Structure 1
């Protein structure tokens, strides 16, 4: 899209498609709920109606959670790609999700923690420590931050934390059932009590990301260029890192590691909105929410009466796309 008018039109269409996706998410599942029941559940709730109870207690919370996580992971991925100047960067590829997951498994299996507030802080701590380690390893050398080194560092940490997580579960098999479904990335059985404690952190991350958009446009030109233009590069990178930790760590605390959303969506948003992050980030938030909502609906329907964890669905969708991008980058080099 070239002109500002076209970008506004695309944004409005995206919001309408997001609203439609949310309605689809509320309606379809093991039980298909009629539009009249959905309307009544939202505006004239009757506890005697089983369909309305399902909408209020299961479908609506699940829809809000999917939209929030999809938007968060997509925006976090776009920020990471801007900071690292690497189109393959995302919370899942650079080990952020793996670090957060390891911290939560440690808390659940060995410390017996189930309070979402404590798990949130464990997730943020795990993702934050991982982000720092990846940045340090990716910056070693006279050339500074290298896109290739940061990917290699992320892959190494994914292997390390994945092995650590498996080791924890082997040592404490009694905790396996508590985390195995969560580890695949799932929003099944999540309710508003899970989302509410985390939502303020996600909101802060979204707002901070949009405020950083103009600075990201400069940073993506390269550190030396950004410094010559008067940008305090270290502070912008630090602020961006905090935003990524809040968005990715908060998402993992709710639903576990859901991969590849942070790669697919920024690429699509860049194609639709261009490279200006002031437009690209809102597009990421909308498209990310739509993608995870529709992936979750597909996860419910694909093997009825059972359902697939949504993390498996996003992996199935995203893996071919990731391979395509990787091959494209290799050809470019």
Structure 2
């Protein structure tokens, strides 16, 4: 006689689906970091002037002030440019993810809330009123303009009893953007110097951006990143609706204000430093969300290296595509972003149908 003993299966402490999702998100962040590092290496190596990898390594190991012409190129041009691309790409991508999460608008990016328009308007005002010509001189006017524009949008959206909600933010942003665009147009049509500077700045560029500019805007970026990552868990709850979020103890008004503060600081710093960078804050969150899902705790983290990687690659392409001339990084990102975004929109429609 055979006796059979039934043993109860012990359920795993973590559901397999949850474990698989976590692994996929960790892998996504890891891949984004690797792509960012590869982009940084390419940015140090490839430029409008051809350099051998050994020459770049020798210049780096020799230190600043050594290595001849290659040393000057590496230390005075490529290192500041690479660091600027890393910071601006991460800031703009993270701010785009915050805009989309805050407003619930899949087409959201910093330009939707008037931040880019405010930066542009104050930049041309600085050239027109004070005759400033260098980027390092009027970058602080761009920062001030972006922050003032964001404050104006948030103030207008907060009028009335409902406070600042996603719909009112979008409407206020559209109205303020139209105002700043009109003001910018009025200035540049009446002043040639302002027009010349605006044409260069509005294309989005990393040329002539030194470490002094990066050091100035870095504190804004750091504060913005810290606040944004702290808002991630609450954004997940807020996505289910303000009523449910309130019932779960989330202070909806405070979270919206904190998110708006974070995206303002990030977008203001990035836009002021490199000009309006189109499509980066729009496309990167969509790409990352495809792999991480809608969980903002992972989405916000992954957007930073992914945005930096795309910014670096676009800048490298701009250096070589019309060598020895150079195409601005904002133009390259538009060429990359438009087909990617069209694909994402079409894919979204097919899923819904």
SS in 1 for 2:130: coil
Structure 2 Cα separation of the partners of residues 234 and 147 of structure 1 = 11
Structure 2 Cα separation of the partners of residues 190 and 124 of structure 1 = 15
2:271 maps to 252
Structure 1 Cα separation of the partners of residues 222 and 51 of structure 2 = 30
Number of residue pairs aligned between Structure 1 and Structure 2: 333
TM-score of the two chains, using structure 1 as the length reference: 0.89
* Cα-to-partner distance string for 1:107-156 (whole Å, 9 max, x where unaligned): 22213346878745533432233334444666778887675665454444
Distance 1:211 1:313, change over 3 A: same
1:23 maps to 41
Distance 1:121 1:267, change over 3 A: same
Report the alpha carbon displacement of residue 57 of structure 1 after superposing the two structures with TM. Answer: 0.5
TM-score of the two chains, using structure 2 as the length reference: 0.84
Structure 2 Cα separation of the partners of residues 315 and 264 of structure 1 = 10
**Structure 2 residue 105 is matched with structure 1 residue 81:** no
Give runs of aligned pairs for residues 27-176 of structure 1, distance below 5 A. Answer: 27-45=45-63, 47-113=66-132, 119=138, 121-135=140-154, 150-151=169-170, 153-176=172-195
**Structure 2 residue 323 is matched with structure 1 residue 304:** yes
Of 301, 323, 339, 1:282 maps to: 301
Give runs of aligned pairs for residues 262-277 of structure 1, distance below 5 A. Answer: 262-277=281-296
> Please, which moves more after superposition, 138-147 or 50-59?
138-147
SS in 1 for 2:43: helix
Structure 1 Cα separation of the partners of residues 308 and 287 of structure 2 = 13
Distance 1:198 1:289, change over 3 A: same
Judge conservation of contact 1:120–1:198 (CA < 8 Å) in 2. Answer: no
Which protein shows a greater Rg? 2
> Please, which moves more after superposition, 42-51 or 238-247?
42-51
Structure 1 Cα separation of the partners of residues 114 and 346 of structure 2 = 21
**Structure 2 residue 23 is matched with structure 1 residue 5:** yes
* Cα-to-partner distance string for 1:282-319 (whole Å, 9 max, x where unaligned): 11001100111111111111222211111111122223
Of 209, 216, 221, 1:202 maps to: 221
Judge conservation of contact 1:105–1:165 (CA < 8 Å) in 2. Answer: yes
Report the alpha carbon displacement of residue 12 of structure 1 after superposing the two structures with TM. Answer: 2.1
Distance 1:326 1:14, change over 3 A: closer
Report the alpha carbon displacement of residue 208 of structure 1 after superposing the two structures with TM. Answer: 1.7
Report the alpha carbon displacement of residue 7 of structure 1 after superposing the two structures with TM. Answer: 2.2
> Please, which moves more after superposition, 194-203 or 53-62?
194-203
Judge conservation of contact 2:279–2:334 (CA < 8 Å) in 1. Answer: yes
Structure 1 Cα separation of the partners of residues 100 and 196 of structure 2 = 35
* Cα-to-partner distance string for 1:151-178 (whole Å, 9 max, x where unaligned): 4544443333223212111222233333
Structure 2 Cα separation of the partners of residues 147 and 326 of structure 1 = 21
> Please, which moves more after superposition, 322-331 or 180-189?
322-331
Consecutive unaligned residues of structure 2, counting only runs of 5 or more, are: 1-18
> Please, which moves more after superposition, 120-129 or 177-186?
120-129
RMSD: 2.8
Consecutive unaligned residues of structure 1, counting only runs of 5 or more, are: none
Judge conservation of contact 1:22–1:293 (CA < 8 Å) in 2. Answer: yes
> Please, which moves more after superposition, 178-187 or 134-143?
134-143
Distance 1:124 1:242, change over 3 A: farther
Distance 1:5 1:330, change over 3 A: closer
